[in-house]
Amino acid sequence: MKIAISGKGGVGKTTLSSGLARLWAEEGRRVVAIDADPDANLAIALGADAATEAACVPLSHWDDLIEERTGARPGAGGMFRLNPEVADVVEMCGTDIGGVTLLKMGTVERGGAGCMCAEGTFLKAFLQHLLVQRGDVAILDMEAGIEHLGRGTAEGVDVFVVVVEPGSRSVHTAAAVHALARDIGVRDVVAVANKVRDASDAEYLREALGDIPLLGVLPESDGVRRADREGASPYEADPAFSEALRGIAHALEERIGEK
């Protein structure tokens, strides 16, 4: 299962990513979680302590490795290989957090991940390998844009999830992300509602989302808020939230199994 998660800032992308990652890891699956947000905080949400989080070096900063694999040092310019070897990158650069293997993408200076530079090419090759060749569960915690996904990697994504909260702005972002994702060849885009307080919140979202299918609903939770304040994982912060999270995990499994 390859799942990409996007949506407006603050809607709960990282909360959902970490929850799904922990849940599937606990079921015994091999889960690779990718923090593709430049404002990276997935490690903490997975339950990492500050030292572990700090030790998690973004892939774009593995200069020696990138030079070894591409033939060019990040930032140095010049010629480089377009098909670097990346099959061992998860094992080499990943950090185990509560049974989940976490990697941070990091940012590429000048021009984004699509730029013609050694580190951008390396990151792209890595994502392509992860999404298209590897058998593990992969969860991509992205930003509101879909910067890191291109045509070659988009087709590896089984389900693209846009997280929304009960308000028009996050729905507006969802519609924009939905269109972008479709443009680059993502096959299946669904919404997950988060911070839902009552039936009218859910009803509002179902209507506002239009033709974006609503896969599931996560409740607004004091436990989740508290966990964030304490630097703890939202996973298991609140039984009602965990129960809803399991529902979403199963809905994703079914959706992918049916295809």
Ligand X SMILES: Nc1ncnc2c1ncn2[C@@H]1O[C@H](COP(=O)(O)OP(=O)(O)O)[C@@H](O)[C@H]1O
Enumerate binding residues for Mg ion (CB under 5 A). 13-14
3-state helix, strand, coil in the chain (%, to 5): 45, 15, 40
221 binds ligand X (CB under 6 A): yes
Dist. CA 111–CA 120, nearest whole Å: 9
Q: Which does 101 bind (CB under 5 to 8 A by kind): Mg ion, ligand X, none?
A: none
The residue (of 63 and 220) whose beta carbon lies closer to ligand X is 220
The residue (of 121 and 173) whose beta carbon lies closer to Mg ion is 173
Q: Which residue in the set 12, 19, 120, 216 belongs to the binding site for ligand X (CB under 6 A)?
A: 12
Dist. CA 244–CA 199, nearest whole Å: 14
The residue (of 159 and 224) whose beta carbon lies closer to ligand X is 224
The residue (of 72 and 192) whose beta carbon lies closer to ligand X is 192
220 binds ligand X (CB under 6 A): yes
47 binds ligand X (CB under 6 A): no
Looking up tokens 């479709």, which residue turns up? 182
Q: Which residue in the set 3, 14, 94, 173 belongs to the binding site for ligand X (CB under 6 A)?
A: 14
Dist. CA 136–CA 130, nearest whole Å: 8
Looking up tokens 């308000």, which residue turns up? 167
Of the candidates 149, 71, 70, 61, the one whose C-alpha atom is nearest the C-alpha of residue 109 is 61
Cβ proximity of 43 and 54 under 8 Å: no
11 binds ligand X (CB under 6 A): yes
Q: Which does 9 bind (CB under 5 to 8 A by kind): ligand X, Mg ion, none?
A: ligand X
Strands 214-219 and 100-104: unpaired
Please state whether 180 falls in left (phi above 0), alpha (psi between -120 and 50) or beta: alpha
Q: Which residue in the set 195, 205, 209, 235 belongs to the binding site for ligand X (CB under 6 A)?
A: 195
Of the candidates 62, 102, 106, the one whose C-alpha atom is nearest the C-alpha of residue 86 is 62
Of the candidates 55, 121, 67, 124, the one whose C-alpha atom is nearest the C-alpha of residue 93 is 55
Stretch binding ligand X (CB under 6 A), from 12-20, 22-30, 127-135, 170-178: 12-20
The residue (of 9 and 112) whose beta carbon lies closer to ligand X is 9
Determine the distance from the C-alpha atom of residue 110 to the mean position of all C-alpha atoms in its chain, rounded to a whole number: 23
Q: Which does 47 bind (CB under 5 to 8 A by kind): ligand X, Mg ion, none?
A: none
218 binds ligand X (CB under 6 A): yes
Cβ proximity of 17 and 141 under 8 Å: yes
The residue (of 38 and 98) whose beta carbon lies closer to Mg ion is 38
**What minimum distance in Å lies between the beta carbon of 228 and ligand X?**
3
23 binds ligand X (CB under 6 A): no
Stretch binding ligand X (CB under 6 A), from 3-11, 61-69, 85-93, 95-103: 3-11
Structure tokens belonging to residue 128: 């392509």
Binding site for ligand X (CB under 6 A): 7, 9-15, 194-195, 218, 220-221, 224-225, 228
